[in-house]
Structure 1
Amino acid sequence: MSAIYLETLINAGIQRVFDSARDIELHQKSTSKTHEKAIAGRTSGLIEENETVTWRAKHLGIYQNLMTKIISMEKPYQFTVVMLKGAFQSMHHQHLFKETEGKTLMIDIFEFESPLGIIGKLFNTVFLTHYLRTFLLERNEPIKVAAESSGAEK
C-alpha cells in the first residue's frame, strides 16, 4: 500500500479548519482543475459521519466516479474517509486536526492501493504517488485560504 503524509499549518481556529475540510462546495471549488463534482449522496453542505458522497472527476484524461464514506468522526479533531467504489483497489484518507499556538495543524494521511498487482505498485511508485500528492496539496490551499479569510472566526 502506498501512503502520502502532508501537514498544512493554518492560521485559523480548529473548528473553522475542520468545517472547511468537510465542506462539499469548497471541495468542488478546490478541485476545479479535475472538474470534480458531487453527484450522489451528500452533494452540499458539511459531510457528517456515516454519510456517503459520489464524486465525478476527470483524472488522467478519463472521467471517473469515486464513492466514499465517512467511517469515523471526532469533531473537530479527525474524520476518516474510505472508498466504497472507484478506480483504486483500496483508499483510506485520515484528516487530523491539532491546535498549536493559536493555529491549526491539518494532517492528511492518504493510503491507497492500485489494482493490477505488481503493475499497479510500479505505477504508484513511478507516477501516481506524485500525482496524488500534488492533487492533495492543491486541494489543501483553498481550505487554508477559506479558513484564514478575513472575518473568519478563530
Structure 2
Amino acid sequence: MTNNAVDADHLRDLALLRRVRDRMDREYTQPLDVAALAAGVHMSAGHLSRQFKAAYGESPYSYLMTRRIERAMMLLRRGDLSVTEVCFAVGCSSLGTFSTRFTELVGVPPSVYRNDPQLGSTEVDPAGLPACIAKQVTRPVRNREAQPPRPDLT
C-alpha cells in the first residue's frame, strides 16, 4: 500500500470517528453502545474503540460519560430536578454508575454538587478549566500509542 493510500485511509477513518463523536454529542440521552456506534460507520466495535482512543485519548464510553456528566452539572446547578431525574435525563440508566462517574470527574457526589450553590460558581481550577475538563486533561494517558513520540536524547 502506498503512502497516499495509507493517508487517505487514515483521513477517512478520522472523518468516521468525527461522525461517531458528533453522534454522541447529539444523542447523549439515548442508549448508545460501541456496537451500535460502530455499525453506524461500518466498523467493527473493536476497531472503532481502538481508533477512537488513538484519535481522542479516551474510549468512546468514557467520552460519552464525560459529555453526560457535563450536561448533568448544568441541570444540577439549575436545582429544579432531583439527582435521579438528572441521571435519567442525561441518558444514564444506573444511578449508581452515574453517581460514581460524576464523583470521579467532578470531585463531589451529585447530591453535594446540587445542594451547594458555591460549587456551581467555583468549579474552575486554578488554570481556569472546569473541574470535569481539568480531570480529563490531567488524567494519565494509559494508551502509549496515543502519545507523541519522544525525541531521542542520546
More strand by share: 1
Which bracket does the TM-score occupy, shorter chain normalised?
Answer: under 0.3
Which has the larger helix fraction? 2
With structure 2 as the length reference, what TM-score do the two structures score?
0.25
Relative contact order higher in (CA < 8 Å, ≥ 6 apart): 1
Q: Tell which structure's C-alpha radius of gyration is larger.
A: 2
The TM-score normalised by the length of structure 1 is 0.25
